[in-house]
Amino acid sequence: MTHVHVAAEKNTKNAVVVRKPFVIEGFRVNAVSCNMRYSGRLDLALIATERFLKVPVAAVFTQNLFAAAPVEVSRRHLKSSGGMGCAVLINSGIANACTGDRGIKLAEETCRKVAKAISVSSESVLVASTGVIGPHIKVKAVEGVLPELVNGLAPDKWDSVAKAIMTTDTVPKSAYAEMMVGGETVKVGGVAKGSGMIAPNMATMLAFLCTNVHVNQKILQEMLAKAVDESFNRITVDGDTSTNDTVMMFAAGPDGVAKILTGREPEAEVIYELICNVCQDLACQIVEDGEGATKFVEITVTGAASKEDARRIAKCIAESPLVKTAFYGGDANWGRIVAAAGRAGVRFDP
């Protein structure tokens, strides 16, 4: 199991990422059991804005050509809504991936059911799934528990959401950071799942973040994409990639404690660093929970001609079976590291 970290990034000096319960003003969440695949455990979660107001949403999705139905539907909804939304429904157990046109229709139907339950347009609702590839999502199972799910929405149920999105994970994953800016507390919190099939370019992992700051959608998208590149795209557990990868972030609406409209506001740098720090911590938690993993290894490459060169070298080392077996056996076989670096396709002075 390897966490690939190419270069040290600047962290928010006064903010510490914590793994404890949190509340983000402007958002309510809940999780219930719908027996999608598992029996008697939380497997369906809803993250929604206060009063179901449409707010800026940013998202980064899988690069796998076999993108799952929920990924395709969420992409469409974000495009048609101009990057605005009010809720995301997440289920675990069934990925609704490689399910053809019917899978798309079922994902759309699920969004319509949620939209009707909270009295909004269906394009305001996003969807994400994780689990077994092949089976279709069970819309009736979702519909049967929607009243309970919606009526139970509360600001302090993020722990339940983290548990509901787990599949092969052994522990729920959450992270939170805050910082005082201009007398206001700027907050970023999030949950994630993932333990196997994890590699750069986001593989079989889900993450959902919220902030109490109102951020212009275009700027929010730029911030999230950059943060994902500095975190989730720099980890690998088994080198495999998936169909359902999704990272989403919701920014508070007009009631946010601050507004970032141009990206030049003093809060802009703070909010980006908080997003990046939370994403990096969630990424580390995924690696720590890797399937069958016994070690957490961080690889740092220095002196490379570019960040991309450094990343390619680090990735090649991290995914080398011989390097992994050396780490597993506690054998300081530096020759395997050198050999892996040498075949990364990067020119450097050995």
DSSP of 100-122: HHHHHHHHHHHHHHHHHHHTS-G
Residues with catalytic roles: 204
Give the Cα separation of 241 and 291 in Å (integer): 14
Cβ atoms of 204 and 194 closer than 8 Å: yes
Give the Cα separation of 12 and 266 in Å (integer): 13
Q: Whose CA is closest to 87, among 124, 116, 44?
A: 124
Q: Which burial class, exposed, middle or buried, applies to 196 when counting CB atoms under 10 A from its CB (0-12, 13-18, 19+)?
A: buried
CA 314 to chain centre: 22
Q: Which residues, including other chains, have CB under 8 Å from residue 116's CB and lie 6 or more apart? A: none
Q: In what order do the strands lie in the sheet with 235-236?
A: 235-236, 2-4, 297-299
Give the Cα separation of 341 and 337 in Å (integer): 6
DSSP-based three-state secondary structure for 4:
strand
Give the Cα separation of 253 and 48 in Å (integer): 12
DSSP-based three-state secondary structure for 236:
strand
Q: Whose CA is closest to 88, among 136, 119, 123, 62?
A: 123
Strands 2-4 and 297-299: parallel
Q: Whose CA is closest to 72, among 246, 251, 241?
A: 246
